[in-house]
Amino acid sequence: MILPQISHLVSICAKSGVTQAILSPGSRCAPLSLAFIRHPNIHCRTISDERSAAFMALGMAQQLNKPVVLVCTSGSATLNYGPAIAEAFYQQIPLLILTADRPAEWIDQWDGQTIRQQDIYAPHIKGSFTFPDDANPTDKLWHAKRIVKEAIVLAKAFPSGPVHINIPLREPFYPAPGENYNFEITDMEPVLDVETGSYALREEVRQKLKNQLSGFKRILLLPGQQKPNLKIKRLLEEIVQNQKGLLVTDVTSNMAQPLAIVHHDFFAAEVSKDKEMVPDLLISFGKSILSKSLKQSLRNCPMSHWHVQPEGSVPDPFQHLDQIIRLQPEIFLEFLLKEGPEIDPVFGQAWKDKNEIVKTQLPQMLNGASFGELKSLSHILHALPAAGKVHLANSMAVRNVNFLGLSQDKIEIICNRGTSGIDGSNSTAVGCTFTTKELVTLITGDLAFFYDRNAFWHQYNMSNLRIILFNNHGGGIFRMIDGPSNLPELEEYFETRQRLNARLLAREMGFEYTLVKSMPGLKKGLADFFQDSIKPKIIEIESSSELNSRVLKSFRRKIKARISKKE
């Protein structure tokens, strides 16, 4: 039986700009799935593993900048969406989650595939709604349509994020023979439009900010994780050129440029101890930053902190937040470029000198290093195409890329730093391939890769996917942390040593596969790795966790000594 409230739900989604849906098979959700499948303006894919499905939808929505629909059946299937929903919440990525459910009277009655689904994703959700379980009287249909409109607006409103509609459904679930969805009628339903404010910089606010800025001489600009924005990037470049601020970036900000401080993680712990480097004003925008040592060091600096964000709650990661500026970042940066004071050149030079030491020393040390993760990663970063999408898995993959820096201007860096988990890196990258013809390169470690193997368990083309898999057969990051690195339980209980490689998975899933154990092997494997092909490709680089740890610690020690000698 075709339910009018479900037909309207799908039509409202389509009219509101939703074009993509990820469905997971199930019986209870059949009315929802069929309605999306049969609507001519929505592209549906079916992914059996709900956890992978949700991360794929996240990867798609992150690129599309609009909600992607997720549909699953009732019961534990709904729980499997949880990790991706939390990630979407903290990354501010719009998702519309539709979970089929039993009618309310059958909850907790030992009925199959039934759990308590109302508010199941709290508190990592922008809003939760419960759908009416029928369309009679007509007020219930009006209520259902209102819920869908409000949910879509909420998912898109800044800061965007996931919104959940729980949908009780009664049997029968399937349309009778000859019964069709009448989208011509339901598509006439108007959608809910919301006009957003301009957030212009009012004259009285401009004068106030100008007066406040005149009291600062050591201004540090720290963009957090965000999508590439050419206008912001150019403004930051002009600000640095005109000495209106010092720019510190990491790879997840997508704001790196020649004048930025990009190697700060090698000396961030010293910032609060060196009076020439201590900022008196920190200006941030975007989301989180990668460097734990920089966060900790800035917490110990006597400074003001301004965060620029048009709407939404603002965290205080540096423990000095004293002003929230409700503007789009580019509007504020234009103001800073025009009205901001020149910074103390001693402050800027102190950061630049240390950054230059790292920039000069790294290539020399890499040239003399043994084959391993850092040496091979450096070669890979130089071999990347000039444009495309690069996904970085959490743990050492994103940190190592940040240590080395990435100079390509047109590459977008993507990483699940909302919750910083390893659980959905593959699936997020696969979702990205569904939205672009550009190459999508995933750089990952073995635990993140094997954890998310079901990302490749589907029937859809992803020939533009390239995976660089660093396999040291364990969680190498724990050798970099002082606590577990000295414990006798390190290998079994922290590194979780494993013997897998990707050869059989590649054969099963239809990947081209290359195993690399040396620099000549890597150069040979990369020769045509980024060329077009009809299959996705994996290069697996085997190395020693112990050696990788020694090399990185040696780099840090030598650079620290070189900086100290310079001082």
Residue ranges matching CATH 3.40.50.970 in the chain = 4-186, 369-562
Strand order in the sheet with 537-542: 410-414, 387-392, 440-445, 465-471, 537-542, 512-516
Quick one: which of 174, 154, 165, 97 has its CA closest to 132? Answer: 165
Fold of the CATH domain 203-355: Rossmann fold (3.40.50)
509/462 Cα distance (integer angstroms): 11
Q: How many CA atoms lie within 13 A of 219 on its CB side?
A: 26
Quote the tokens at residue 225: 């994780």
Task: Give whole-number Cα distances, 530 to 184, 384, 398, 468, in Å.
Answer: 45, 8, 20, 11
Give the per-residue pLDDT at 477: 62
Closest CA to 65 of 4, 140, 156: 156
Beta-bridge partners for 513 = 538
- Residue numbers of the chain with a pLDDT score lower than 70: 197-198, 475-487, 489-495, 566-567
CA angle 13, 19, 24 (to 5 degrees): 85
pTM for the structure as a whole: 0.94
The CATH fold assigned to 4-186 is Rossmann fold (3.40.50)
| Residue 542 amino acid letter | E
Cβ 567 vs Cβ 422: under 8 Å? no
At residue 144's C-alpha, the angle toward residues 139 and 146, to 5°, is 90
Domain boundaries for CATH 3.40.50.1220 within the chain: 203-355
Phi then psi for residue 284, to 5 deg, are -120, 155
Q: Kindly report, residue by residue over 224-257, the tens digit of the pLDDT.
A: 999 999 999 999 999 999 999 999 999 999 998 8
Q: What is the structure's pLDDT at 478?
A: 60
In sequence order, which residues have a C-beta less than 8 Å from that of residue 559 and are 6 or more positions away?
266, 267, 357, 358, 361, 362
Contact 254, 387 (CB under 8 A): no
Specify the fold of 369-562: Rossmann fold (3.40.50)
Predicted local distance difference test score (pLDDT) of residue 492: 61
Q: Which residues of 56-74 are buried (b: 16+ CB within 10 A; e: fewer)?
A: bbbbbbbbbebbbbbbbbb
Distance from C-alpha of 390 to C-alpha of 162, rounded to nearest angstrom: 24
Q: Is 471 helix (H, G, I), strand (E, B) or coil?
A: strand
The DSSP secondary structure of 22-40, one letter per residue, reads EE---STTHHHHHHHHH-T
pLDDT of amino acid 480:
58
Beta pairing partners, 442 = 391, 467
Q: How far is CA 94 from CA 151, 195, 196, 268, in A?
A: 10, 18, 17, 34
- With contact defined as beta carbons under 8 Å apart, do 446 and 503 qualify? no
Reduce the DSSP state of residue 373 to 3 states and report it.
helix
> What does the alpha-carbon distance between residue 48 and residue 52 come to, in Å, rounded to a whole number?
8
